[in-house]
Structure 1
Amino acid sequence: MALLNQTNRSLLKRWLPPALLVMIVVVLYVTGSYKWISVEALVQNYTRLTAFVGDYLLAAVLIYMAFYALAVALSFPAAWVLTVSGGLLLGWWVAGLATIFAATVGASVLFFIAKTSLGEHMRENARGYIQKMRAGFQQDAVNYMLFLRLTPVFPFTLVNIVPGILGVPFRIFFWTTFVGIAPGSFAYSYAGEGLDSIVRAQADAYEACVAAGNTPCGISLKLGNIVTTDLLIALGALGVAALIPTIIKRLRKPAA
């Protein structure tokens, strides 16, 4: 009986955290609450949001950080909308710092879930390519983590989960995440602050449309207004630069 209880506790500890995350995500999608984090919602509520930030800046920053950490922990696919919104409403440097702290906290939640729920089992049964990948990742964890964080090609959620599965130490995960996401966080926040006139014009047009009783009142703000090719190229170049030490090390091994 004691062995059975211990097994049940072990299974509960392993699967309860990811199960809770999945349940929260399902509730958000079923209720449609996820739509609050969108470009459309930003434009529609822009006037009220700017008024709230003007009156309660500290509270606005704390709420922003809480929402951001939760969005990252829940693997929300458009967290960049929050970053841009933060830059627009809070200013690029305040939003940049808040984003770095909040995103690192949210990423750490996913890291621990992957490390304890999935990672332990996969590490015990790792064979072949997975074992080689784990060994290589641990050997150059810092460079690989910085590369994955700086390069906007890899899904943020995946980079939060894989290091936990491959056994990357938390201290390395934490500080490389904190440092690695800084350029992108400030870049997107800065891009968001630069959208003030565009979003304000969109918000005024939307409010005028609603006041006139016209339906539906659409939003024409597009992703291309925010995420430019130059921005992605710059972040990609930073990621490649972070991988240079690892490449040099690999090239030197055969010569040695």
Structure 2
Amino acid sequence: MAHIDPPKTRRHTGPLVVLIAIAIGLAVLFRDSLSFEALAENREALLAYRDAHYGLSVAIFIAAYTSIVAFSLPGATIATLTGGFLFATFPGAVFNIIGATTGACLLFLAARWGLGDWLSAKMETGSARIQRIKRGLDNNQWSMLFLMRLAPVVPFFVANLLPALLGVPFSRFVVSTAVGIIPGAVIYTSVGAGLGQVFEAGETPDLGVIFEPHILLPILGLCALAILPIFLNSRSKQDL
């Protein structure tokens, strides 16, 4: 009897299904550990371990941050604050960016191996309207990628999955992620760097700081710069 291969779509969804299953399991297992309260309760032990094993602490932290992002676990904000609390704004921001970028890349690749190729093929052979939408995305990929990273209204996991499903080149995704998350990473890492005083006062950190005018306006300015090429590209096509 001739061997019949399973449908490609079924084979391709394997990595994505595994990733989702692991994410659910980890979210249930560590639901009480990835919280501000847990960080406050264990702060002295964390600081003592960092002082005794700095290099290992950095490696463990980056690996943990990578896992949180790769599996889309709740707690990425707490992880960013922890990076600032343990390692100060700098190099804490660098460690946060490395962990977030690495985790985003792993999620991107899992989605790409799972559904990206199949969806890209569907879009290439789809209706004329679908092909026009895809061409529009292709023509403005850099701008759209940076805009998704800079705009605080776009969930991080969405900005990781959509590019994979729309056929964005991996190298372009890596660069736009690493550069685009710098403003937010530095802001929240700096908040984490001040957690010592927050803990002593028995308060909680102000995570709404990113919406304060002196912080939000520069970010909106960067968003405007990201949108500008899209506007100019649209105007140039209208003039033709």
Please list the CA deviations of residues 151-192 of structure 1 after superposition, one character each: whole Å capped at 9, or x if unmatched.
111011011111111111111111111111112111111121
Structure 2 residue aligned with 1:248 = 232
Shift of 1:113: 1.7
Shift of 1:246: 1.7
Structure 2 residue aligned with 1:91 = 88
User: Is 1:151 paired with 2:151?
Assistant: yes
Q: Which amino acid aligns with 2:207?
A: I
RMSD (Å) for aligned C-alpha atoms: 2.0
Structure 2 residue aligned with 1:7 = 6
Structure 2 portions without partners, runs of 5+? none
Contact 1:88-1:192 within 8 A present in 2 as well: yes
Structure 2 residue aligned with 1:26 = 24
**Distance in structure 2 (CA, Å) of the matches to 1:13 and 1:60:** 38
Structure 1 residues 39-118: aligned runs within 5 Å: 39-118=36-115
Q: Which amino acid aligns with 2:172?
A: I
Please list the CA deviations of residues 219-256 of structure 1 after superposition, one character each: whole Å capped at 9, or x if unmatched.
x525xx13312244543432232221221221232123
Structure 2 residue aligned with 1:190 = 190
**Identical aligned residues as a percent:** 30
Contact 1:146-1:242 within 8 A present in 2 as well: yes
TM-score normalised by L of structure 1: 0.83
Shift of 1:143: 1.2
Contact 2:93-2:186 within 8 A present in 1 as well: yes
**Distance in structure 1 (CA, Å) of the matches to 2:3 and 2:131:** 31
3-state SS, counterpart of residue 208 of structure 2: coil
**Distance in structure 1 (CA, Å) of the matches to 2:22 and 2:121:** 29
Among 190, 197, 222, the alignment partner of 1:238 is 222
Q: 1:90 to 1:68 in 2, by over 3 A?
A: same
Structure 1 portions without partners, runs of 5+? 203-219
